[in-house]
């Protein structure tokens, strides 16, 4: 029997938890990088073969940097009931504490939260030990998206709950100190899979793609492509009660897993950017996620950058492809969340979805320039996390942090890259004590946040 692809190669899980101190550093770590890079991944326990990549139990990996030193690396499973095989569905309905907690990890209100969109977040200590399920003091009674958005101006955290059954979509807002301020059911939403969303200065933006609830899907993730499911953008005013005034706009068929950013342009139009796939691209990805042998043969079906410009006054949407690379995991300088950004970063994949060379890509939206940093055969970088430099005045003045899995050496390293120019050598390389499995999302958590 062929091994599942998400249990082999770059994605092969590790079998234990370790802590290593005083890591070797090549180059010089900028002293302002004092904090923790924490990344999340699906890492089932030894002997467990999940039916879908997303069903694997969450494991966080952290690197602690402190004034030029790499103090430690550690990895820990997020100890939820799912880690010990507890069922998510019970006679009373979903148990929101039974989470993989393996998609993302963020900080908000001084708490570290490991996220998986079908359940409650799980709080972690700064040393990555599990505290337990976190429900915002009892105010959160739904699941929480793995892609919340923090407003850099107010510190408020916007997040949502998506369900295949009514209520299909609930929008939440928490204050900067972690108090839930508002929760609204969003009318007009459907059972379509909603993984990510965006905020602008005055709006919340939801995307519904051509992937929707399908009870016949038996992988444990009950969604499938449907040509009958409309692909739509929902634009909702941000103020209290704004859900009642949401407007939905149909767009070309497709699915967008991740959104880079959204903003309002000088004409008041809502601009949304992020990679998207069509039917064949979704099928190829899904078959990898469930370990099906059919990967599809249609060329150039990978995820391509797209831009949607919603003219609220005219009631129209203009769509365009922004690049021809196969990309995913778009990121920006988070200080520009909800406002127009110039620079955007992403992970570039070869069209065979994982066999061959990968690269980090930087886009300059003002000039149209594109920089590529290829990593060579057998090396896979993680999503690039931007950290601003001390005293930065320019949007790209700072660092990109990425963890590289190297199958050639059976090792991994944390690279600190100059975000202003990907063509120069790394600022610093932190050698990690083991090969770290390819991960999904993560965050830089400065000491001041905890």
Phi, psi of 250 (to 5 degrees): -75, 140
Tell the burial category of 402 from Cβ atoms under 10 Å away from its Cβ (0-12, 13-18, 19+).
Answer: buried
- What order do you get walking across the sheet with 270-276 strand by strand? 261-264, 270-276, 304-311, 316-321
Which tokens belong to 328? 């995913």
Which tokens belong to 383? 């999503």
**In-domain check, residue 182:** yes
pLDDT value for 353: 45
pLDDT value for 354: 45
Residue 151 and residue 270 share a domain: yes
Residue 293 and residue 206 share a domain: yes
Q: Which residues are annotated as a binding site?
A: 147, 195, 258, 441
**In-domain check, residue 348:** no
pLDDT value for 299: 58
Q: Which residues are annotated as a binding site for Fe cation?
A: 147, 195, 258, 441
pLDDT value for 300: 63
**In-domain check, residue 142:** no
Distance of CA 335 to the CA centre of its chain: 17
Which tokens belong to 323? 């690049």
Mark which of 313, 341, 369 sits at the end of a domain. Answer: 341
Residue 407 and residue 280 share a domain: no
Tell the burial category of 276 from Cβ atoms under 10 Å away from its Cβ (0-12, 13-18, 19+).
Answer: buried
Q: Would you tell me how many other CB atoms lie within 10 Å of the CB of residue 289?
A: 18
DSSP code of 83? G
Pairing of strands 247-250, 261-264: unpaired
- Give dist(CA 443, CA 124) in Å, integer: 14
Mark which of 287, 310, 341 sits at the end of a domain. Answer: 341
Residue 304 and residue 370 share a domain: no
Measured between its terminal Cα atoms, the distance across the chain in Å is: 46
Residue 417 and residue 282 share a domain: no
pLDDT value for 301: 75
Residue 306 and residue 189 share a domain: yes
pLDDT value for 297: 54
Which tokens belong to 186? 């969003």
pLDDT value for 190: 98
Domain count, the chain: 2
Residue 159 and residue 52 share a domain: no
Which tokens belong to 409? 């050496």
Choose among 215, 144, 211, 200: nearest CA to 174.
144
**In-domain check, residue 161:** yes
Residues in Cβ contact with 317 at an 8 Å cutoff, skipping those fewer than 6 apart: 233, 249, 250, 251, 308, 309, 310, 311
Residue 3 and residue 95 share a domain: yes
**In-domain check, residue 111:** yes
Residue range(s) defining the domain that contains residue 70: 1-115+356-450
Residue 197 and residue 101 share a domain: no
Mark which of 341, 371, 391 sits at the end of a domain. Answer: 341
- Give dist(CA 258, CA 247) in Å, integer: 21
Residue 360 and residue 313 share a domain: no
Whether 180 and 174 have beta carbons less than 8 Å apart is answered as yes
Which contiguous run of DSSP H or E holds residue 281? Answer: helix 279-290
pLDDT tens, residue order, the chain (450 aa): 458 999 999 999 999 999 999 999 999 999 999 999 999 999 999 999 999 999 999 999 999 999 999 999 999 999 999 999 999 999 988 999 999 999 999 999 999 999 999 999 999 999 999 999 999 999 999 999 999 999 999 999 999 999 999 999 999 999 999 999 999 999 999 999 999 999 999 999 999 999 999 999 999 999 999 999 999 999 999 988 999 999 999 999 999 999 999 999 999 999 999 999 999 999 999 999 999 877 665 656 789 999 999 999 999 999 999 999 999 999 999 999 999 999 999 999 886 544 458 999 999 999 999 999 999 999 999 999 999 999 999 999 999 999 999 999 999 999 999 999 999 999 999 999 999 999 999 999 999 998
DSSP code of 289? H
**In-domain check, residue 221:** yes
**In-domain check, residue 349:** no
Q: To which residue do tokens 């690039």 refer?
A: 384
Residue 212 and residue 324 share a domain: yes
Residue 170 and residue 232 share a domain: yes
**In-domain check, residue 202:** yes
Distances (CA, A) of 194 to 40, 161, 306: 20, 9, 17
């Amino acid at each position: 029997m062929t091994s599942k692809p998400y249990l082999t190669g770059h994605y092969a899980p590790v079998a234990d938890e370790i802590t290593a101190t005083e890591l070797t550093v090549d180059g010089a770590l900028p002293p302002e990088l004092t904090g923790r890079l924490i990344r999340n991944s699906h890492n089932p326990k030894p002997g467990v073969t999940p039916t879908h990549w997303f069903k694997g139990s969450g494991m966080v990996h952290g690197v602690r940097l402190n004034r030029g030193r790499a103090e430690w690396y550690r990895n820990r499973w997020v100890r939820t009931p799912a880690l010990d095989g507890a069922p998510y569905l019970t006679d009373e309905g979903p148990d929101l504490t039974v989470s993989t907690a393996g998609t993302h990890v963020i900080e908000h209100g001084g708490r570290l939260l490991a996220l998986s969109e079908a359940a409650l977040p799980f709080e972690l200590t700064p040393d990555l030990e599990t505290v337990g399920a976190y429900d915002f003091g009892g105010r959160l009674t739904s699941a929480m998206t793995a892609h919340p958005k923090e407003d850099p101006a107010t510190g408020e955290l916007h997040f949502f709950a998506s369900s295949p059954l009514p209520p299909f979509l609930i929008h939440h807002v928490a204050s900067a100190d972690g108090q839930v301020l508002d929760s609204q059911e969003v009318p007009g939403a459907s059972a379509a899979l909603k993984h990510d969303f965006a905020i602008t200065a005055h709006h919340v933006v939801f995307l519904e793609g051509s992937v929707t609830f399908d009870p016949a899907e038996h992988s444990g993730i009950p969604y499938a492509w449907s040509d009958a499911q409309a692909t739509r953008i929902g634009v909702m005013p941000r103020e209290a009660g704004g859900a009642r005034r949401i407007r939905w706009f149909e767009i070309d068929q497709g699915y967008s897993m991740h959104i880079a950013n959204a903003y309002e342009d000088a004409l008041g139009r809502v601009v949304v950017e992020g990679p998207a796939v069509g039917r064949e691209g979704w099928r190829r990805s899904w078959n990898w996620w469930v370990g099906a042998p059919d990967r599809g043969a249609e060329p150039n079906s990978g995820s391509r950058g797209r831009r949607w410009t919603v003219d609220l006054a005219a009631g129209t949407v203009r769509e365009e492809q922004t690049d021809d690379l196969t990309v995913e995991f778009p990121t920006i300088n988070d200080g520009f969340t909800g406002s127009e950004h110039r620079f955007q970063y992403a992970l570039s994949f070869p069209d065979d979805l994982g066999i061959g060379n990968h690269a980090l890509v930087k886009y300059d939206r003002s000039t149209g320039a594109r920089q590529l940093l290829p990593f060579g055969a057998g090396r896979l970088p993680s999503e690039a996390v931007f950290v601003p430099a001390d005293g930065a005045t320019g949007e790209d003045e700072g660092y990109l942090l990425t963890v590289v899995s190297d199958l050639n050496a059976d090792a991994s390293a944390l690279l600190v890259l100059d975000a202003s120019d990907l063509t120069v050598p790394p600022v610093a390389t932190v050698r990690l004590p083991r090969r770290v499995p390819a991960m999904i999302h993560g965050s830089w958590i400065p000491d001041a946040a905890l």
